[in-house]
């Protein structure tokens, strides 16, 4: 390798990419171009890099988000006066350290003071702990960027030979690369001052202000447009990285933060360097490739977007200058197709070279060019940044031993900003993270997983990503152990045997109450036996199917027991289904017979199956034996078949065995401490497997089952009367129904089992007092429920679904069935004693959904892929997120409908809610919120205001439809297919023309000239018109001066339209008026103006 190639290899990645691009284009060497020293000392425009910082300061002037504190511990005899003189020389040498920012003619400019005294406050301290506390306080004091200096220096003295030197500098005038120049110059100035000699420092050829002027001249015209075009194409339809958070994301970006630092294993450095040499890439590419893969693992996305800082010092004349040069670029990775790690490295190298060769565009200009969808809860374009830097040695002061001391401002500019620092022997990984989103444990666990993945990937770079583990052995075993529920001996018996044992124990006690008519265990058993003998005569036996299409009466329960006693499996039918669907199900199941009554005969007759019309068989059944039939069914025979909808439109029958039901009931008997004194409500349709819990938790315990008839199920008042009058102790109701009930009326109720769909914390808190509430999870394929969480106390968010029940397993896996770390979304994959046999007559689907257990812990050796998206908390409990295939995308932003529904459900008065996507006639996609109070119409303006405080604007539905009640299916869940389309006119925005003088001034005299646009309507979005954050700050400054009001940028960002701002302006102005002034103003206004003002007040 030639000396030139060696030097090229040592260059940072961004400089190497830029130099290669210049060489390919035949450009002049960068060292021959660039800024030149300016003439004059007047104000200078901000650089493009500085503009976003100025905007942020206007938004959050009291936050130290862009402060850069760094501290050194100095051990040895320090010459304090020499240090003070060195600092004075440093400030005199670097203009950026004499710079502040102010407004001139409504435009921010840099003002450079000709000289500036240096105040180095010396603080006496008694202990290291005191110094640490003082450093923490000092680091969190914000700067006023209008008031110089934009730095502070503190010297904390522990002893005459032990000091802490703190520099705290605002990012507006400084960046990380500037530290190298600062400590080098300071060391030389200190040496010279201590020894009474002239410092050996060459004069700086240019200053930061010269760069600012040059940048604005150079980055314009064709050059800027070419960069804009490249970046628009590169980031077209770029997704938001959905990295899982520990807490719900605030509706507005916050900057509360903390820092974490740890060392990666030494063997990782050797592995990365070895692989880099072997395949001819830089370690930067390998570290970055590994980070991108971890983003894919945590987000579940193949299209990954992260930020990466670019030193942005393209000219050698800038390398010794302090100032804010650094620029954030956007790296976008395509990780689709399960590539090998080597392939990812190659893709990364290409991405990095292409990105950095187009890296001259400042981040603010990049946002203007790309115009990403605005989301107030996230930083634009990327939320997670990653950097790799070489170790910068600390300041070298003559005769002093210097060490770096960690400091932090308590803020975070991004969701996470990761940085790797390499010193040749050890790689340190640091993270600044948002504490409103993440716990320290999550960050530490990610760092460990990242290191482990890289170690494994470097060892086997030709291996597909899906085969490379990111968990070390200890964490892998810990995560797997969370998936195992408690163990108990499996009961190999049948439902019939268990029921008949209860009959023997409690024959004369009441088993069933329907419409206030009680039936004893003995009588219920005799009636079931008579029907069972008749079914056996018809050919019923194990392997046969008998369907049930009956009204909610005692015959329904009798028939369930009779079919089981015959040895056959029962198949519930929904009589309200179309006849063709009933026939399709009966044909697929090859049902031997259908048990029905005369009122429903016609609904099932077309299927051509043998009918047993119960209300026409009185004499025949009375003559049948009432003794227990000789049981021929075993624990492994099918007990029931429930058909569920399929993605293809063809219903699929789920086969549940007797043993599964018996063991499920045994688990809930233990969990809920069920006794014969309990009274269980039977509310669920037989087509819904909650009915299995209701019927058999009562009848296999010796308790009472109160079966609600249709009139009681359809009337909230009658249902409440039944529960109250009967002293119900155990319920399992859909949340949509529970929201309509009054829990304080049920004194006897002690067990509330909720499942089937997500529910709000408000519901938990309403129902919790005086009873035990459980959140249950379980698809039809797992015998009612197999994951459960008891929810005591008060909740602020929807509870997790919990941990697996006895003799069950529940894993959170990626698409390749590998365990994912805690906090990472994955598919819920379950197994255990309750697992279904499979799907009737659907061997291919059964093979697809029921897979072999790769971990060897599931009873029966099989797992079921639920298709549900979940994540684990750090203690192993599972949180339900939603269906993997039911996320929607609105205007380029991914939205989980369940999160929007939860926000609406928290609004007072909402009893039922559903949110669905809807596409209008123009092809525009919207969210529609369907709500019902069950009583009065809801105040939609108040609901929107409520959501604005909880959800990002893009997640608030465009339309709301208030219904008397939401349509429900037979399972008690919202029937989403029956929801009506919204009326487009109901969601129309304000008229385009100004209606008040304030709106006219805003549109025609302030916003129009600023945007150079004469066609602005009062409902138009400022940013959709081409405005940017810098112009927004200028706009608000102009409005405040023109109208003498106090509007903040935060107010504007909530709804950036003239009508919204006019309402705030008028409201503030009227607050300051006397009564006479207010009356005079109202008298001078037209009716339309008055109405417009009132609308502004109501917004």
Q: Is the pLDDT of residue 972 over 60?
A: yes
> Residues 32, 36, 37, CA angle at the centre, nearest 5°?
150
Shared domain for 136 and 243, answered yes or no, is no
- How far apart, in whole angstroms, are the C-alpha atoms of residue 456 and residue 445? 17
Q: Report helix, strand or coil for 856.
A: coil
Residue for token pair 């690369």 = 177
DSSP secondary structure string for all residues of 120-161 = EEEEE-SSHHHHHHHHHHHHTPPP-TTSS-SEEEEEEEEETT
- How far apart, in whole angstroms, are the C-alpha atoms of residue 181 and residue 395? 10
- How far apart, in whole angstroms, are the C-alpha atoms of residue 505 and residue 509? 9
Assign 930 a pLDDT band (cuts: 50, 70, 90): very high
1053 versus 463: which is more confidently predicted? 463
Structure pTM? 0.77
Average pLDDT over the chain, rounded to an integer: 88
Q: What is the CATH number of the domain that holds 74?
A: 3.30.559.10
Assign 718 a pLDDT band (cuts: 50, 70, 90): very high
Q: Is the pLDDT of residue 1093 over 60?
A: no
Q: What token pair was written down for 795?
A: 């909740």
896-915 tens-digit pLDDT: 787 788 888 888 888 889 99
pLDDT score recorded for residue 646? 56
Q: State the helix-helix crossing angle for 13-25 and 3-10, rounded to 10 degrees.
A: 130
Q: Is the pLDDT of residue 1 over 70?
A: no
User: Which domain-ending residue is among 634, 668, 696?
Assistant: 634
Other beta carbons within 10 angstroms of residue 346's beta carbon come to 16
| Average pLDDT estimate for 358-368 | 92
Shared domain for 973 and 1076, answered yes or no, is no
pLDDT score recorded for residue 988? 39
Shared domain for 1054 and 977, answered yes or no, is no
Shared domain for 105 and 164, answered yes or no, is yes
| Average pLDDT estimate for 61-78 | 92
The count of structural domains within the chain is 5
Q: Is the pLDDT of residue 890 over 70?
A: no
Q: Is the pLDDT of residue 960 over 80?
A: yes
Dihedral, CA of residue 305, residue 308, residue 314 and residue 320, to nearest 10 = 170
Selection from 557, 601, 559 nearest residue 579 by Cα: 601
pLDDT score recorded for residue 193? 93
Domain membership of residue 897 as a residue range: 886-987
631-640 tens-digit pLDDT: 889 999 999 9
Assign 611 a pLDDT band (cuts: 50, 70, 90): very high
Contact 611/594 with Cβ under 8 angstroms?
A: yes
Contact 540/593 with Cβ under 8 angstroms?
A: yes
865 part of a folded domain: no
Q: What token pair was written down for 1078?
A: 């207010």
Q: What is the CATH number of the domain that holds 899?
A: 3.30.300.30
Residue 1004: C-alpha distances to residues 267, 449, 641, 1031, 1063 (Å): 65, 56, 69, 16, 16
53 part of a folded domain: yes
1048 part of a folded domain: yes
98-144 tens-digit pLDDT: 999 999 988 999 999 999 999 999 999 999 999 999 999 999 999 99
681 versus 816: which is more confidently predicted? 681
Shared domain for 129 and 48, answered yes or no, is yes
- How far apart, in whole angstroms, are the C-alpha atoms of residue 353 and residue 12? 11
Q: Report helix, strand or coil for 319.
A: coil
Shared domain for 574 and 459, answered yes or no, is no
Shared domain for 983 and 1004, answered yes or no, is no
Q: State the helix-helix crossing angle for 1029-1043 and 51-59, rounded to 10 degrees.
A: 50
- How far apart, in whole angstroms, are the C-alpha atoms of residue 1052 and residue 1023? 11
- How far apart, in whole angstroms, are the C-alpha atoms of residue 598 and residue 604? 11
Assign 415 a pLDDT band (cuts: 50, 70, 90): very high
User: Which domain-ending residue is among 482, 501, 535?
Assistant: 482
Q: What is the enclosing helix (H) or strand (E) of 881? A: strand 878-883
895 part of a folded domain: yes
Q: What token pair was written down for 893?
A: 């932003």
Burial status of residue 605 (CB atoms within 10 A of its CB: 0-12, 13-18, 19 or more): middle
857 part of a folded domain: no
Sheet with 44-45, strands from edge to edge, namely: 44-45, 107-112, 99-104
Residue 1067: C-alpha distances to residues 1063, 1081, 1095 (Å): 6, 13, 11
Q: What is the CATH number of the domain that holds 322?
A: 3.30.559.30
User: Which domain-ending residue is among 987, 1021, 1049?
Assistant: 987
- How far apart, in whole angstroms, are the C-alpha atoms of residue 285 and residue 264? 17
Lowest mean pLDDT among 42-46, 237-241, 297-301, 1052-1056: 1052-1056
Residue 554 region by backbone torsions, left for phi larger than 0, else alpha for psi between -120 and 50, else beta:
alpha
1035 part of a folded domain: yes
Q: What is the CATH number of the domain that holds 1013?
A: 1.10.1200.10
Q: Is the pLDDT of residue 891 over 60?
A: no
Contact 138/152 with Cβ under 8 angstroms?
A: yes
764-813 tens-digit pLDDT: 999 999 999 999 999 999 999 999 999 999 998 889 999 999 999 999 99
Q: Is the pLDDT of residue 330 over 50?
A: yes
Shared domain for 296 and 181, answered yes or no, is no
Q: Tell me phi and psi for residue 120, to 5 degrees.
A: -110, 100
Residue 1076: C-alpha distances to residues 996, 1070, 1081 (Å): 20, 11, 9
44-45 and 107-112 beta bridge pairing: antiparallel
Q: Is the pLDDT of residue 987 over 60?
A: no
* Percent of the chain scoring above 70 in pLDDT: 89
Shared domain for 363 and 476, answered yes or no, is yes
Selection from 684, 563, 541 nearest residue 612 by Cα: 563
253-291 tens-digit pLDDT: 899 999 999 998 889 999 999 999 999 999 999 999 999
Q: How many residues does the chain have?
A: 1099
Listed as own residue / partner, the contacts of 1032-1036 with beta carbons closer than 8 Å and 24 or more positions apart are: 1032/55, 1032/1056, 1033/54, 1033/55, 1033/58, 1033/59, 1034/106, 1034/107, 1034/1010, 1035/1006, 1035/1007, 1035/1010, 1036/58
Rg over alpha carbons for the chain, rounded to the nearest Å, is 36
Assign 1041 a pLDDT band (cuts: 50, 70, 90): confident
Shared domain for 929 and 1058, answered yes or no, is no
89 part of a folded domain: yes
| Average pLDDT estimate for 198-208 | 95
Lowest mean pLDDT among 305-309, 469-473, 483-487, 749-753: 469-473
* Percent of the chain scoring above 90 in pLDDT: 62
Shared domain for 566 and 603, answered yes or no, is yes
Residue for token pair 């893709």 = 347
Q: What token pair was written down for 53?
A: 């910082």
Shared domain for 949 and 1025, answered yes or no, is no
Q: Tell me phi and psi for residue 39, to 5 degrees.
A: -100, 140
564 part of a folded domain: yes
Q: Tell me phi and psi for residue 956, to 5 degrees.
A: -85, 125
Q: Is the pLDDT of residue 580 over 60?
A: yes
pLDDT score recorded for residue 1090? 56
Question: Which positions ≥6 away from 367 have C-beta within 8 Å?
Answer: 380, 381, 1028, 1029
């Amino acid at each position: 390798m030639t000396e030139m190639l060696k030097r090229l290899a040592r260059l940072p990645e961004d400089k190497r990419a830029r130099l290669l691009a210049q060489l390919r284009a035949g450009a002049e060497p960068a060292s021959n171009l660039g800024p030149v020293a300016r003439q004059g000392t007047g104000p200078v425009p901000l650089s493009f890099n500085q503009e976003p910082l100025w905007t942020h300061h206007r938004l959050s002037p009291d936050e130290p988000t862009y402060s850069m504190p760094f501290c050194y511990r100095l051990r040895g005899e320090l010459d304090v006066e020499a240090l003070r003189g060195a600092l004075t020389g440093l400030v005199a040498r670097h203009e950026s350290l004499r710079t502040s920012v102010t407004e001139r003619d409504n435009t921010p400019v840099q003002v450079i003071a000709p000289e500036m005294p240096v105040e180095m406050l010396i603080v006496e301290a008694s202990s290291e702990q005191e110094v640490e506390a003082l450093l923490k306080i000092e680091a969190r004091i914000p700067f006023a960027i209008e008031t110089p200096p934009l730095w502070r220096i503190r010297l904390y003295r522990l002893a005459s030979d032990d000091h802490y030197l703190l520099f705290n500098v605002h990012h507006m005038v400084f960046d990380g690369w500037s530290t190298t120049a600062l400590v080098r110059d300071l060391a030389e100035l200190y040496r010279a001052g201590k020894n009474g000699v002239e410092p050996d420092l060459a004069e700086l050829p240019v200053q930061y202000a010269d760069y600012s002027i040059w940048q604005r001249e150079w980055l314009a015209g064709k050059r800027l447009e070419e960069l804009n075009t490249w970046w628009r194409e590169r980031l077209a339809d770029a997704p938001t990285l959905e990295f899982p958070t520990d807490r719900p994301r605030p509706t507005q970006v916050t900057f509360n933060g903390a820092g974490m630092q740890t060392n990666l294993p030494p063997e990782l450095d050797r592995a990365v360097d070895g692989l880099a040499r072997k395949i001819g890439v830089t370690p930067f590419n390998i570290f970055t490739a590994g980070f991108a893969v971890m983003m894919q693992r945590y987000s579940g996305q193949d299209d990954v977007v992260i930020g990466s800082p670019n030193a942005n010092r393209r000219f050698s004349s800038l390398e010794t200058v302090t100032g804010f040069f650094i620029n954030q670029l956007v790296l976008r990775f395509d990780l689709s197709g399960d590539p090998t790690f080597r392939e990812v490295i190659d893709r990364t190298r290409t991405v990095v070279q292409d990105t950095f060769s187009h890296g001259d565009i400042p981040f603010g200009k990049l946002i203007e060019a790309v115009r990403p969808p605005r989301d107030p809860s996230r930083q634009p374009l990327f939320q997670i940044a990653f950097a790799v830097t070489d170790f910068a040695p600390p300041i070298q002061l003559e005769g002093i031993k210097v060490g770096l001391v960690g400091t932090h401002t308590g803020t975070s500019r991004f969701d996470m900003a990761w940085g790797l620092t390499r010193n040749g022997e050890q790689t340190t990984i640091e993270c600044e993270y948002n504490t409103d989103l993440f716990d320290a444990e999550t960050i530490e666990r990610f760092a460990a997983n990242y290191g482990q993945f890289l170690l494994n990937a470097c060892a086997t770079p030709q291996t597909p990503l899906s085969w490379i583990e990111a968990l070390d052995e200890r964490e892998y075993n810990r995560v797997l152990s969370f998936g195992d529920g408690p163990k108990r001996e499996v009961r190999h018996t049948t439902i019939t045997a268990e029921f008949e044992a209860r009959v023997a124990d409690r024959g004369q006690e009441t088993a069933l109450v329907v419409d206030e008519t009680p039936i004893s265990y003995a009588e219920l058993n005799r009636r079931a036996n008579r029907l069972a003998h008749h079914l056996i005569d018809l050919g019923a036996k194990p392997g046969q199917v008998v369907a049930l299409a009956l009204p909610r009466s005692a015959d329904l329960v009798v028939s369930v027991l009779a079919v089981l006693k015959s040895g056959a499996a029962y198949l519930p039918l929904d009589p309200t289904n179309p006849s063709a669907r009933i026939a399709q199900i009966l044909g697929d199941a090859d049902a031997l017979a259908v048990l029905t009554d005369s009122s429903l005969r016609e609904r099932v007759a077309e299927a051509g199956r043998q009918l047993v019309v119960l209300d026409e068989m009185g004499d025949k059944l009375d003559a049948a034996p009432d003794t227990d039939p000789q049981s021929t069914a075993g624990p492994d025979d099918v007990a029931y078949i429930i058909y569920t909808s399929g993605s293809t439109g063809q219903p699929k029958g789920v086969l549940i065995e007797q043993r599964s039901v018996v063991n499920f009931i045994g688990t809930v008997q233990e969990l809920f401490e069920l006794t014969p004194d309990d009274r269980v409500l039977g509310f669920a349709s037989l087509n819904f497997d909650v009915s299995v819990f209701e019927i058999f938790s009562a009848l296999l315990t010796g308790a009472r089952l109160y079966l609600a008839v249709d009139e009681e199920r359809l009337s909230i008042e009658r249902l409440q009367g039944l529960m109250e009058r009967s002293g119900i102790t155990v319920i399992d109701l859909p949340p949509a129904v529970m929201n309509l009930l009054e829990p304080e009326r049920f004194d006897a109720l002690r067990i509330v089992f909720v499942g089937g769909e997500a529910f709000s914390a408000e519901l938990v808190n309403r129902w919790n007092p005086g009873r035990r509430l459980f959140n249950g999870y379980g698809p039809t394929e797992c015998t009612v429920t197999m994951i459960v969480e008891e929810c005591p106390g008060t909740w602020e968010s929807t509870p997790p679904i919990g941990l697996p029940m006895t003799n069950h397993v529940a894993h959170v896996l990626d698409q390749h069935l590998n365990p994912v770390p805690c906090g990472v979304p994955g598919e819920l994959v379950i197994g255990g004693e309750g697992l279904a046999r499979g799907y009737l007559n659907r061997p291919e689907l059964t093979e697809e959904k029921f897979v072999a257990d790769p971990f060897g812990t599931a009873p029966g050796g099989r797992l079921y892929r639920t298709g549900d998206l979940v994540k684990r908390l750090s203690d192993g409990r599972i949180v339900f997120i939603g269906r993997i295939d039911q996320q929607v995308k609105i205007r380029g932003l991914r939205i989980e409908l369940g999160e929007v529904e939860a926000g609406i459900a928290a609004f007072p008065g909402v009893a039922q809610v559903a949110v669905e996507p809807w596409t209008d006639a123009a092809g525009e996609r919207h969210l529609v919120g369907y709500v019902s109070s069950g009583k009065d119409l809801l105040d939609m303006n108040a609901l929107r205001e409520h959501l604005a405080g909880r959800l990002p604007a893009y997640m608030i539905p465009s339309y709301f439809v208030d219904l008397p009640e939401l349509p429900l299916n037979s399972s008690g869940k919202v029937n989403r297919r029956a929801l009506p389309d919204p009326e487009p006119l109901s969601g129309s925005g304000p008229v385009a023309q100004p209606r008040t003088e304030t709106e006219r001034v805003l549109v025609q005299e302030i916003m129009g000239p600023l945007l150079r646009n004469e066609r602005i309507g009062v409902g138009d979005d400022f940013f959709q018109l081409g405005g940017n954050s810098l112009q927004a700050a200028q706009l608000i400054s102009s409005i405040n001066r023109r109208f003498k009001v106090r509007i903040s940028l935060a107010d504007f960002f909530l709804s950036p339209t003239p009508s919204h701002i006019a309402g705030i302006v008028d409201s503030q102005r009227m607050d300051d008026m006397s009564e006479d002034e207010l009356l005079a103003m109202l008298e001078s206004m037209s009716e339309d103006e008055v109405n417009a003002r009132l609308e502004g007040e109501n917004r």
